[in-house]
Structure 1
């Protein structure tokens, strides 16, 4: 299916450019061309990010989802509010397993204990600019007591928990009020696979 693989790119150099909340490296590389031969040397700055998880808690019994609302500075110039409705999410730190991160972040960001966790898919967030791969999970949860404000003070988190029906979430998606990639993709996956998932968990 694919024309080329890792053997068809030559990394000439890689050097650190910036180290802060994100790490930025400059790559200089050449690659094979579809028409034959090799490209000129190309320079690109890439954010080096660990893989991350995004978890959509799903209460099958109540047909409800748990979403969180928090400020995202990258959305400040968007047409909607910079406070976004999102899945629970977090970075996978070295030595951590993805499922452990799902459970830790659910507790930290929403005060939730997760039941069964189903891997939906994974995707590259923005491969032209970052190394991050995001792993999407749907998690079984009892949403009856979900709510309140959560987050870690030492990470300046201020997170409001929402219970919404599946239909409400689909409506917000259709209206463009949920517009961050991980939550859009998780909801679209659920719309396609909800029946199979409920059957699997029955």
Structure 2
């Protein structure tokens, strides 16, 4: 199996900030038995957690919309629609995402259920995202949300029918990977509560 025999030959620190950017030279045994030598730039950063809250009575989900500089630098000119998410900062995932949901969405979630873990971009970062679904209702609203302005957060809260969110994936209005995966999981988990999404035809 590839990845069982890995040897780190050299590590160079390129930058330190919220994470650490490194240039790593390593070798590993490939599937054909050959030893492969590579150099890669890796960004070591704190793991994260994300959630999509679902209201089974109304068939709606809560999402966020905010400006993301890396997406803008890549040429995308819209704000990104995403699942509520945040860095763990030393907390366990469930504790952190309940806190993040109150800050960003303004709702106190319940019936939190683990969906899956995923690597956000395994070719260049160590980040793992723990993904959850949860339930909410209008009665669970505790604030207007929006995140912490003192931390540079200016987050718009979106409440959408689940089928509408699916169509936004199809049209490219939602293109954040963790959000796409969590929307699919939400549909599968709560299939009896909502009608199947009506995808648009073509683009």
- When normalised by structure 1's length, the TM-score is 0.87
**RMSD of equivalent CA atoms:** 2.1
Q: Say whether the 8 Å CA contact 2:103–2:145 is kept in structure 1.
A: no
Correspondence for 1:36: 33
Measure the CA separation in 2 of the matches of 1:196 and 1:44.
45
Q: 1:49 to 1:113 in 2, by over 3 A?
A: same
Cross-structure match for 2:19: 22
Shift of 1:5: 3.9
User: Equivalents in 1 of 2:109, 2:117: separation in Å?
Assistant: 20
Q: Distance in 2 between matches of 1:168 and 1:181?
A: 17
Retained in 2: the 8 A contact 1:147–1:160?
Answer: no
Q: Is the 8 A contact 1:86 1:183 kept in 2?
A: yes
Q: How far, CA to CA, are the matches of 2:81 and 2:143 in structure 1?
A: 14
Aligned counterpart in structure 2 of residue 65 of structure 1, from 61, 73, 85: 61
Verify: 1:120 aligned to 2:115, yes or no: yes
- Report the Cα offset of residue 74 of structure 1: 1.3
How far residue 46 of structure 1 moved from its aligned partner, in angstroms, is 0.4
1:105-134 CA-to-partner distances (Å, cap 9, x unmatched) read 001111110111111111111111000011
How far apart are residue 147 of structure 1 and its match?
8.0
Q: Does 1:47 align with 2:43?
A: yes
Query: How far apart, CA to CA, are the structure 2 residues paired with 1:130 and 1:62?
Result: 38
Question: SS at the partner of 1:157?
Answer: coil
1:111 to 100, 106, 113: 106
Partner residue, 1:136: 131
Q: Kindly indicate whether the alpha-carbon contact (under 8 Å) linking 1:84 and 1:178 is maintained by their aligned counterparts in 2.
A: yes
1:70 Cα deviation (Å)? 0.6
CA distance in 1, matches of 2:74, 2:168: 16
Name structure 2 gaps, 5 residues minimum: 195-203
> What is the match of residue 100 of structure 1?
95
The runs of 5 or more residues in structure 1 that have no matched partner are: none
Q: 1:5 to 1:43 in 2, by over 3 A?
A: closer
DSSP-derived class of the 1:150 partner: coil
C-alpha deviations, 1:52-92, integer Å up to 9, x for none? 11110111111111111111111115665431111100011
For residue 192 of structure 1, give the secondary structure of its aligned residue in structure 2: helix
Q: Secondary structure at the match of 2:160?
A: strand
SS in 1 for 2:35: coil
Asked if the contact 2:108/2:142 (under 8 Å) is kept, the reply is: no
